[in-house]
Structure formats: C-alpha cells, structure tokens
Amino acid sequence: MLVVMKAQATPEQIRAVCEYIEHLGFRAHPLPGAQRTAIGITGNKGEVDRGNLEELSGVAEVIRVSKPYKLASRDVKEEDTVVRFAGTDAAIGGRNLAIVAGPCSIESREQAFAIAEQVAAAGAQFFRGGAYKPRTSPYAFQGLGIEALRIMAEIRDRFGMRIVTEAIDSESLELVAEWADVIQIGARNMQNFSLLKKAGRLRKPVLLKRGLSATLEEFLMSAEYVMSEGNYEVILCERGVRTFADHARNTLDLSIIPAVQRLSHLPILVDPSHGTGRRDSVLPMARAAVAAGADGIIVEVHHQPEKALSDGPQSIHPAQFASMLNELEQIAPVVGRTLPRGIHVNAVVG
Ligand code: PEP
Ligand code: MN
C-alpha cells in the first residue's frame, strides 16, 4: 500500500500519517519525491484498512501496490534513485556514470596502492577490493580481512576514492559498514535473507549483485529485503548468470538493464569482469553496458594479473582501464550521460 501525500502536505501531516501507520503495527517508509512525498506501507500482518488513511489530513490518495516488491518499485517512487556520497561530488545513479575499479582481492598494501594509484590517475571515483572472499574452494585465498579494510581506508585518505567491498556474513558486515563506503553483497549471498535484513538496518549504501541464477523478480525482492528495513540506498549490479554457454565464465545479461529501469527506480551497475571471466571480453561488454543504459561499471583491474591471488584471467591492466574510460567517455553522451574524471572531496555540491 502506498499513501500519496498532497503536494502541499506539511512535515507534521507526513509525520502524523507515519505514526498512524506504525500504530497499526505496520512500517511506514516516507519517500520524498520532487513533487510530493509518498509513504510506503510494509509489514506482514495482512491488509491495511485504506478508508481511515484516506481521511487523514494531507493525504491525496491511497494506492494498492500490486507488485511483490514495493519499495524497490517505480510504482512507489517514480524518480530514479541517486546514491550520493557526503562531502564529495560522487554519485551512483543520475547523469554521471559511476566507475568502480580495483583488484578482485586486496593482496598486500603494495599491490593495492600500485593499482589504486593508476585507477585514480585514470579518473575512477570508486575503488573496489575484496577483503573477505567467497571462494569456491576452502583452500583458495580467502582475503586479508580487517587488514585489507585498513589498507582501503588508507587508499580513500590518499586518493579520495570511495571504497566498495564485500561483506560475506554478519561479522564481516559490521566491519565493512564501519570501514567502507559501500557494502557489496555478492552473487552467492543475494538470497541470504538474514544478511540482507542486517544490511537494511545499516545506513550505508548496499551494492547488491545478482545471484548466479536469479530472475529479475528474485533480484528485486532481495533489494526489497534491504529496503524493508529502512535502508533505501540499494545499487543493483548485473554480473552474469549461469547458462549453457561455455565460451565465457557467465553470460552477461545486459537485457536486464532496461527491464530493471522499467520496473524499479534503483540504479544498476554492470560487472563485465565476472560477467565474462575473460580479459579480452571486458572492454566490449563495458562499452555495451554503457550503451544499454547502465549507471556505471564495476571492473577488476590488476597491475600483475598473472600473479593475482584471485580472478587474474579476467583482470584488465591499468593501461587497458585508462583506455576503457576514454572509450566510455565517448559513448556516454550518446545515451545522455557524462563520465566524470576523479573525485572532488569536500567539494561544494550545487
Ligand atoms: C567480486 O566482486 O569479486 C565477486 C566475488 O563478485 P560476485 O559476487 O559477483 O561473484
Ligand atoms: Mn573477483
């Protein structure tokens, strides 16, 4: 259910409607829009009686949302969500493309800094690096944990880039939320509902990767889990799905971009690295992703991919990353976008 407030509704009227909803045992999610505020109602206690709600002052109308995902749906919020990063000019969603780059895993301070320096010089606003790695084999490198989080915090201080890193369980979630700027929830955890709910109780943006065989509805329902707990800053990420195709690690499903944009207001990034598993396929798919309307790219970059402890074969060289940005910069205006170069910290954002 969605309560649409009148354009001239006062903050007190909005608060009173939220209190009434909560008093009924439901949860109220005020969602301010350009024209008016809408209040999403969620809860698992059955239907809300719309009659009384319509009587409250400041209410324009009460609408039933038929989709299983509510807060993630465009029915509830028409305008695109833009996730902003306080004190910087960086954003995910909106006109500017977001570029997230860095190694699959943080392997050492030297490795992380060598890569960070080059992706920052090329103009990346976000740095990625795994501290906690969900590996297929328990004998494969599992990540440096807290040490990696500390290294990435140093990278943020030095280069300004905001940090994106994965949390794999409750323990790492708390640490990632404390040290990083964006909490990545990986493909393998897309339906870890207790982890999603926990991330929903935090106030840090969540980058939610599509599960290995998730449908669009399942993907949006996972976003809904995070949002249902009050964290509305969810960034979706297409990273390829399992198919019969064996020429690539996964099949990058770019057709999900327009489908997501039709149904949801949430931004969507594309990961051409995990999406293909092959260095030579990363650039063409990154180009295609921007052309298809993605809000940005998350890509693995390594200065010595042959020595990488994870995902070396799909990691591009820093020089390839720099030329990728040059190409994306040219494609961007065709689809009404701009590719910002570098991040301005403490910039006055107008
Ligand atoms: C990653 O980003 O390194 C990663 C493990 O991604 P995914 O969850 O998409 O496999
Ligand atoms: Mn990886």
Distance CA 31, CA 42 (A): 13
Count of alpha carbons within 13 angstroms of residue 46, beta-carbon side? 2
Which pLDDT score is estimated for 46?
A: 80
Closest listed residue to residue 33, CA positions, set 84, 92, 79 = 79
Q: What is the pLDDT of residues 62-111, one digit of tens each?
A: 999 989 999 999 999 999 999 999 999 999 999 999 999 999 999 999 99
Burial 235-249 (b: 16+ CB within 10 A, else e): bbbbbbbeeeeeebb
The alpha carbon of residue 114 and the mean position of all alpha carbons in its chain are separated, in whole angstroms, by 25
Query: Which atom belonging to ligand 1 lies closest to the Cα atom of 239?
Result: 9
> Predicted confidence band at 49 (pLDDT cuts at 50, 70, 90)?
confident
Ligand nearest to the CA of 250: 1
Query: Which atom belonging to ligand 1 lies closest to the Cα atom of 310?
Result: 3
> Predicted confidence band at 349 (pLDDT cuts at 50, 70, 90)?
low
Q: Which of 126, 128, 274, 301 to mutate to test the pocket of ligand 1 (most atoms within 8 A of CB)?
A: 274
Count of alpha carbons within 13 angstroms of residue 97, beta-carbon side? 34
3-state secondary structure (DSSP) of residue 181: coil
Q: Do the domains 2-63 and 83-335 sit in the same CATH topology, yes or no? A: no
Which pLDDT score is estimated for 321?
A: 98
The alpha carbon of residue 197 and the mean position of all alpha carbons in its chain are separated, in whole angstroms, by 16
| CA-nearest residue, atom 8 of ligand 1 | 186
State whether the beta carbon of 209 lies less than 6 angstroms from ligand 1.
yes
**Residue 347 pLDDT > 80:** no
Query: Which atom belonging to ligand 1 lies closest to the Cα atom of 209?
Result: 9
3-state secondary structure (DSSP) of residue 41: strand
| C-alpha 328 – ligand 1 centre gap (Å) | 22
Q: What is the pLDDT of residues 151-209, one digit of tens each?
A: 999 999 999 999 999 999 999 999 999 999 999 999 999 999 999 999 999 999 999 99
Count of alpha carbons within 13 angstroms of residue 123, beta-carbon side? 17
In this structure, what are the phi and psi dihedrals at residue 342, rounded to the nearest 5 degrees?
80, 160
Closest listed residue to residue 257, CA positions, set 89, 29, 66, 97 = 97
Distance CA 58, CA 9 (A): 5
Domain boundaries, the chain: 2-63, 83-335
Fold type of domain 2-63: Alpha-Beta Plaits (3.30.70)
State whether the beta carbon of 160 lies less than 6 angstroms from ligand 1.
no
Under CATH, which number does the domain 83-335 receive?
3.20.20.70
| C-alpha 47 – ligand 1 centre gap (Å) | 38
Which pLDDT score is estimated for 37?
A: 94
Which pLDDT score is estimated for 270?
A: 99
Closest listed residue to residue 2, CA positions, set 29, 35, 23 = 29
Which pLDDT score is estimated for 224?
A: 98
The CB density around residue 206, as the number of other CB atoms within 10 Å, is 26
What's the mean pLDDT when you consider all of the chain?
96
| CA-nearest residue, atom 9 of ligand 1 | 187
In this structure, what are the phi and psi dihedrals at residue 250, rounded to the nearest 5 degrees?
-140, 175
State whether the beta carbon of 249 lies less than 6 angstroms from ligand 1.
no
Q: What is the pLDDT of residues 231-272, one digit of tens each?
A: 999 999 999 999 999 999 999 999 999 999 999 999 999 999
How far apart are the two ends of the chain, measured CA to CA in Å? 35
| C-alpha 345 – ligand 2 centre gap (Å) | 28
> Predicted confidence band at 328 (pLDDT cuts at 50, 70, 90)?
very high
In this structure, what are the phi and psi dihedrals at residue 109, rounded to the nearest 5 degrees?
-65, -40
Q: Which residue has the higher pLDDT, 348 or 8?
A: 8
Q: What is the pLDDT of residues 111-150, one digit of tens each?
A: 999 999 999 999 999 999 999 999 999 999 999 999 999 9
- Residue 317's contacts (CB-CB under 8 Å, 6 or more residues apart) are 301, 302, 303, 305
3-state secondary structure (DSSP) of residue 173: helix
